[in-house]
Each structure stands twice: as structure tokens, then as C-alpha cells.
């Protein structure tokens, strides 16, 4: 599918300062049932980490939007440990 090619193209890119490309990549990786199955939890934790107060409201707003679309609210109650937060 097209999005698999898109994932390969953008896998190493973060996007603009608001990490829009990285967050989109995480969402695509999560919704594809055949892509890196063993890493789904890691991808979910990274997406959740972008809701932390350490990030700008634009990054957090985007992350919350994706979390809403993917219905990951129940997972949001237990934020990942600080060791899992990506560096800025």
C-alpha cells in the first residue's frame, strides 16, 4: 500500500519543530497490523510521551488528536517512564 512506502520514506525524519511527521509516522505504524508488530507498544508510548507538559502546546495538541482518533485514552492513564521520552 501507499502508506507503507510513505513510512519507509519518512522513517528517519521528525518533521518540523512540531514533530508532525514523526507523530504521523507513529500513527501509521500503529494502524498497520503487519508493520513491526513487536514494536507497537514502543510506538504507542512514544506517541503518548508527546502529551507531556515538557512539549509545546502544538506538539501536545497533535498528539492528543491522534490519541483520540486511535482511541488510546485508556492507555494515557499510565504515562511512560521518563526513560522512554524521546529527546528534543
CA angle 46, 47, 48 (to 5 degrees): 90
| Integer CA distances (angstroms), 71 to 27, 30, 44, 57, 83, in order | 12, 12, 11, 20, 24
**Averaged pLDDT score across all residues of the chain:** 78
pLDDT higher than 70, residue 47:
yes
**pLDDT tens by residue, 3-40:** 676 666 655 555 556 677 889 989 999 999 999 999 99
- Domain regions of the chain by residue span: 2-79
Taking the C-alpha atoms of residue 62 and residue 38, their distance in angstroms, rounded to an integer, is 25
Amino acid at each position: 500500500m501507499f502508506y507503507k512506502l510513505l513510512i519507509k520514506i519518512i522513517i528517519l525524519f521528525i518533521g518540523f519543530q512540531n514533530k508532525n511527521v514523526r507523530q504521523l509516522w507513529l500513527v501509521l505504524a500503529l494502524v498497520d497490523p503487519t508493520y513491526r508488530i513487536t514494536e507497537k507498544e514502543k510506538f504507542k508510548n512514544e506517541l503518548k510521551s508527546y502529551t507531556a507538559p515538557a512539549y509545546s502546546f502544538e506538539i501536545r495538541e497533535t498528539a492528543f488528536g491522534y490519541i483520540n482518533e486511535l482511541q488510546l485514552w485508556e492507555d494515557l492513564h499510565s504515562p511512560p517512564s521518563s526513560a522512554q521520552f524521546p529527546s528534543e
